[in-house]
Amino acid sequence: MPLLVGRLLVVAAAASAKFSATFEGDSTAPFVESTNDRYANQDVGIVDGALMLKEPNRMYGVAAEIKPPFKLDDKLVIQYESTLTDGLTCGGAYVKLLESPVDTSKFDNESPYVLMFGPDRCGATDKVHFIVRQKNPKSNTWYEHHLRDAPRAKADRSPHLYKAVINSDDTFAIYIDDEEAFSGSLMDALEPPLTPPKEIDDPDDSKPKDWVDAAKIDDPEASKPDDWDEDAPREIDDATATMPAGWLEDEPLLIPDPSAEAPDDWDDEEDGEWEAPEIANPKCDKAPGCGPWSPPKIDNPDYK
């Protein structure tokens, strides 16, 4: 799955911060390749104004430092164009906004990040990731909050433009090729939720020993009526029904295709006796029906 990244843009509106990369010329700058062993021998270069990850089935890690680091005060826009030259069968083409400070020459998949965004498809996974990584101020535990109903990734070979917009009022939207693929609120679209619920189940509580799960039970005083017939069916043949006029009982629904012929190289001794493929019986097209007729079913009046 060789990957071409044509343009990357990160904008933080209120802070007047902006980062962009258009990959003009032969240099990958401002991006640098990580020297982490996870990405050993990765083949990265510039091809036709795009950052190209050349070999399939390989981990890649390239990063660029945003100077100065910024905080989200009003709106954050992340946008990039990618082309999967062989399509996407198993792999990811997502970007991460890494937590500051970061050594871009040594980062790996475990490096702390604040947002992960982009397509990923392999096995049961087929989505455009939108993951917010946040520290719980009460427990000081870091959590990854995933978009619950993420849009599907584009798996073809055409260029696609991915954009995520996060607003200061906690609303956000994902666009693919400038068409909205998802919109919602960070407060209710992520799993686990960014804000924990006010109440949770008591972890120290336990089910009482005399607790009964069943809301209803069989009536112990009930007995089967004397006239109950266990063999009576729910439905019976309609005794008043008659076979429609013109019904062709002796005609099958399917007949051998009269126009079919055995292949020239067919050998009965080796291939067995040749049989023509079956087609719908044309006589049945104008008749109300073909084959054995049986009356329709009706509710059994004696069924209880």
Residue 129 pairs in a beta bridge with 118
Does position 142 have pLDDT exceeding 50, yes or no?
yes
Check residue 297 and give its pLDDT: 92
Does position 262 have pLDDT exceeding 70, yes or no?
yes
Model confidence pLDDT, tens digit, residues 194-213:
887 888 889 899 999 999 89
Does position 6 have pLDDT exceeding 50, yes or no?
no
CB distance 47 to 88 below 8 Å: no
Does position 134 have pLDDT exceeding 70, yes or no?
yes
CA-to-CA distance for 266 and 272, rounded, in angstroms?
Answer: 9
* 3-class DSSP state of 265: coil
Q: How would DSSP label each residue in 214-253?
A: -S----TT----TT--TT--SEEE-TT--PPTT-BTTS-S
Check residue 246 and give its pLDDT: 92
Check residue 17 and give its pLDDT: 64
Does position 9 have pLDDT exceeding 70, yes or no?
no
Check residue 263 and give its pLDDT: 84
Which one is predicted more confidently, 48 or 161?
161
Model confidence pLDDT, tens digit, residues 88-106:
788 888 999 988 888 888 9
Check residue 139 and give its pLDDT: 85
Check residue 1 and give its pLDDT: 44
Check residue 78 and give its pLDDT: 92
Check residue 303 and give its pLDDT: 79
* Cβ neighbours of residue 253 closer than 8 Å, sequence gap 6 or more: 280, 281, 284, 290, 291
Model confidence pLDDT, tens digit, residues 164-174:
999 989 999 99
- Residue 8 CA, distance from chain mean position: 25
Does position 73 have pLDDT exceeding 80, yes or no?
no
Check residue 15 and give its pLDDT: 46
